[in-house]
Structure 1
Amino acid sequence: MTSIVSAIIVLGILIFVHELGHFIFAKLFGVGVEKFSLGFGPKLIGKKIGETEYLLSAFPLGGYVKMVGEGGEGEIPEEEKARSFAEKSPLRRIGIVVAGPGFNLIFAWFLFIVIFMLGVPSATTKVGEVVKDKPAARAGMVAGDVVTAVNGKKVARWEEMAAEISAAKGQALDIEIRRGAVTKTFRIVPETRTGKNLLGENVTSPVIGVVAAGETVIDRYPPIEAFSRGSSQTWTVIELTALSLVKIVERAIPLDTIGGPIMIAKMAGQQAEAGGVSFLAFMALLSVNLGVLNLLPIPILDGGHLIFYLWELVFRKPVSMRAREIAQQVGLALLIGLMVLAFYNDIARYLVGNG
């Protein structure tokens, strides 16, 4: 039950943020908004305020903003043409379309800043295991040692230590450690290890053969540093998400890694139980994914509409209705195929398998 409630909260917030982007920019550019719906399908509840009917609909896996004249279907009353989406310039339509994914990315950025202010867990440099017959073991390091400097540069977090080892590019390292009340320095030449990164690519890296003890501290940052770190983290996640999509197309990342609603619900429940910061981080990651995915040039998604309006902007004429209809059908087929794959993976992972 926790997983279902958590998933509803996460998806509800992210869908609201996305549609709010479309809504605000539609209003900003003088476009009338007839409906603002969280969810698709039959209306569960609704209330009309001004010209807009605000709805909660039956199927929660999405939402929509229905604007006056959207899609250019049917005749628009003369008095409504000035407030019609179809009558606005291509640039304004592009702004309205991009605003949805853009708000998701901005929301993720805001969440990451808040996360760094609230505090993120970081592993200390305490060594939990020294791998037998590896460079650190041969030099004399033992479990319980705390690394305090690498090549004269002070380190207090495992990530900092790893970065310094990597920066040396396999050259000999002076590793300073604290063992109880004693300080020692070891001269260690790293060895090269080949493994796979998050994108399934083979990468080589220098290692000395130590494993973190798992001791963590909470690092909290003042607003200015949190802003910087949050911005950097947002961009890193955007890049990683885009590269992951490319690798899926190239089949470097297996298709069975794609997850659907069951996976989201399970992960949302796990992150909610792990605590507020973990839950916010999961929401930020999902918000980036939603923003990037919606910008893909697939008809029926925001990115597909963006292509139509860019065409109109460049060639000074809209894409023909027939071409749009065919493109929408192809896009719908692709989207349904992706949803079927995600559901299949969820069923195989959690209902049939041992997930």
Structure 2
Amino acid sequence: MLSILSAIVVLGILIFVHELGHFIFAKLFRVGVEKFSLGFGPKLLGKQIGETEYLISAFPLGGYVKMVGEGADSELSEEEKARSFAEKHPLQRIAIVAAGPSFNLLFAWFVFIVVFMVGVPSATTKIGEVVKDKPAARAGIAAGDVITSVNGKNVTRWEEMAAQIAASKGASLVIEIKRGDAVKTFRLMPETRTGKNLFGETVTSPVIGVVASSETVIDRFGPGEAFVKGSAQAWNVVKLTALSLVKIVERAVPLDTIGGPIMIAKMAGQQAEAGGVSFLAFMALLSVNLGVLNLLPIPILDGGHLVFYLWELVFRRPVSPRAREIAQQIGLALLIGLMVLAFYNDIARYIVGQG
């Protein structure tokens, strides 16, 4: 139940943010908005405020903003044409369409800043285990030692220590530790470990054979530093998301890693149980994914519409209705195929238990 509720909260917020971007920019350019819906399909709840009907619909895996002139079956009056999305300059239509995914990216950026202000858990440099017959064990480093510097650079967090070892590129290391009240210095040569990265590619890295203890601290940052760290984190997640898509196309990342609603629900529940900060970070991560995916140049998605309007802007004429119809049919087929794959992977992973 927690997983379902958490997923509804996450998806509801992210869909609202996305559609709010379209809505605000439509209003900014004086485009009439007939409907603002969270979800697709049959209406569950609705309220008319001014010209706009605000809806909660049955299927929560998306939403839409219906603007004047979209899918009109009859001729528009002159007044309606003035407020029609289709009659606006291509640059204004581009701004309205791009606002949805842009709001998702901006929202993720804001949430990451908040996360760093609230506080993130970080592992200290206290060693929980020293692997037998590895460089650290041979040098005399022991479980319970606290690493204080690597090659003369002070470290207080495990991530900092690991980064210094990686930066050595396998060269000799001078490691200073604190053992009780004593300070000891060790010189050792890391060994190379071969493993897999996030994309399943083989990578090598220098290691010394130590495992972090369970000791953590909460790092909180002021607004300025949180802004810098949150901005860096948001940008890193955007790059990682884009790179993941490239790796999927290259088949470096297997298709069975793609997840759907069940996977989102499971992860949302796990992050909610882990605490508010984990839940916020997960929501920001999902918001980046939603923003980047919607910018892909696939008809039906926002990115596909942007391609149409850029074509019109450059060549001074709209894409022909027939070409647009064919492109949208292809886009719909791709989207349905992706959804079927995601559902199949979810069923295999969580229900059949093959994943």
Tell me the TM-score normalised to structure 2 length.
0.98
Deviations 1:151-181 (A, max 9, x none): 1111000000011111122111110001111
Take 1:118 and 1:147, find their aligned partners in 2: how far apart are those partners?
A: 27
Distance 2:99 2:145 in 1: 51
Residue in structure 2 matched with residue 38 of structure 1 by the alignment: 38
What pairs with 1:50-129 in structure 2 (closer than 5 Å)? 50-70=50-70, 74-129=74-129
Q: Gaps spanning 5+ residues in structure 2: where? A: none
- Is 1:340 matched up with 2:340? yes
Q: Distance in 1 between matches of 2:48 and 2:73?
A: 23
Is the contact made by 1:32 and 1:67 (CA closer than 8 Å) also made in structure 2? yes
Corresponding residue for residue 218 of structure 2: 218
Amino acid at match of 1:186: F
What amino acid does structure 2 have at the position aligned with 1:311?
Answer: W
Residue type matched to 2:350 in 1? Y
SS of equivalent to 2:87: coil
2:30 is the alignment partner of 1:15 = no
1:252 aligns with 2:252: yes
Question: Which residue of structure 2 lines up, in the alignment, with residue 160 of structure 1?
Answer: 160
2:354 corresponds to 1:351: no
Question: Could you tell me which residue of structure 1 aligns to residue 236 of structure 2?
Answer: 236
Deviations 1:300-346 (A, max 9, x none): 00000000001111111100000010011000000000000000011
SS at match of 1:70: coil
Q: Secondary structure at the match of 1:86?
A: helix
The amino acid that maps onto 1:123 is A
* Matched residue, 2:24: 24
Per-residue deviation at 1:70?
2.4
**Equivalent residue, structure 2, for 1:173:** 173
Report what 1:290 is aligned to: 290
Q: Which runs of 5+ in 1 are unaligned?
A: none
Q: Distance in 1 between matches of 2:348 and 2:167?
A: 42
Label 1:72 to 1:236 Cα distance change in 2 as closer, same or farther (>3 A).
farther
CA-CA distance at 1:74 after TM superposition: 4.4
Please state if 1:201 is matched with 2:204: no
Question: Matched residues in 1 for 2:17 and 2:352: separation?
Answer: 34
* Structural RMSD (CA): 1.1
TM-aligned CA deviation for residue 75 of structure 1 = 2.3
Aligned residue for 1:132, secondary structure, equals coil
- Contact persistence 1:72–1:86 (CA under 8 A): no
Secondary structure in structure 2 of the residue aligned to 1:53: strand
Match for residue 326 of structure 1? 326
Q: CA deviation at 1:204?
A: 1.4
Normalised TM-score (structure 1): 0.98
